[in-house]
């Protein structure tokens, strides 16, 4: 039995398959996900688990060089953006793209999507894989 870290087998496999510049999406419950995308649905009920319940342990195990948010998050969910930034590694590059582009990246370039039960608009985040050397 695994002693620590993420216990979910599918999330462990997804993180283990990530390479430099690969995209991993942690999504809210409403983000449209293409049927051909690798999807890990951990949602239970509205709001649970939240994005931070997934983001924090993923950041413990995945080297991330950049994060991407929807531009709309700045105006629609500014408190969520402020809180999310507190959870990120210090000095990490942050990029904002229009939500249409965010969905395109999710559905055409992501290696996988972890769908949470989060119900805050535009609270999804794209993690860009980094390198440890």
Question: What tens-digit pLDDT sequence spans the chain (133 residues)?
Answer: 888 999 999 999 999 999 999 999 999 999 999 999 999 999 999 999 999 999 999 999 999 999 999 999 999 999 999 999 999 999 999 999 999 999 999 999 999 999 999 999 999 999 999 999 9
Six-digit token string for 133: 């050397």
Q: What is the pTM of this model?
A: 0.96
Please tell me whether residue 11 adopts helix, strand or coil conformation: helix
Would residue 118 count as lying in a domain? yes
Q: Write the pLDDT tens digit of every residue in 72-106.
A: 999 999 999 999 999 999 999 999 999 999 999 99
Contact 116, 26 (CB under 8 A): yes
| Residue 116 within any structural domain of the chain | yes
Alpha carbons 123 and 28: distance in angstroms, whole number: 6
Instruction: Supply the pLDDT for residue 66.
Output: 98
Q: What is the pLDDT of residue 128?
A: 98
Does residue 123 form part of some domain?
Answer: yes
Show Cβ contacts of residue 95 under 8 Å, excluding neighbours closer than 6 positions.
66, 67, 68, 69
The single residue of 5, 7, 20, 21 carrying the catalytic annotation is 20
Q: What CATH code is carried by the domain that includes residue 109?
A: 3.40.1650.10
Is 56 known as a binding-site position? no
Q: Is 122 annotated as a binding residue?
A: yes
Contacts of 86 (CB under 8 A, 6+ apart): none
In a domain, 10, yes or no: no
Residue at 6 is within a domain: no
The Cα 112–Cα 89 span in angstroms is 21
Give me the number of domains the chain comprises. Answer: 1
- Active-site residue 87, yes or no? no
């Amino acid at each position: 039995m695994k002693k620590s870290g993420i216990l979910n087998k599918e999330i462990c496999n997804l993180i283990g398959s990530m390479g430099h510049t690969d995209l991993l999406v942690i999504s809210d419950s409403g983000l449209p996900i293409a049927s051909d995308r690798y999807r890990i649905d951990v949602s239970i009920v509205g709001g649970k688990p939240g994005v931070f319940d997934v983001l924090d342990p993923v950041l413990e195990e995945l080297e991330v060089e950049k994060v991407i948010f929807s531009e709309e998050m700045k105006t629609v969910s500014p408190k969520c953006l402020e809180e999310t930034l507190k959870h990120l590694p210090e000095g990490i590059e942050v990029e904002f793209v229009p939500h249409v582009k965010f969905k395109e990246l999710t559905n055409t370039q992501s290696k996988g999507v972890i769908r949470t039960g989060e119900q805050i608009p535009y609270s999804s985040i794209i993690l860009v894989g980094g390198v440890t050397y």
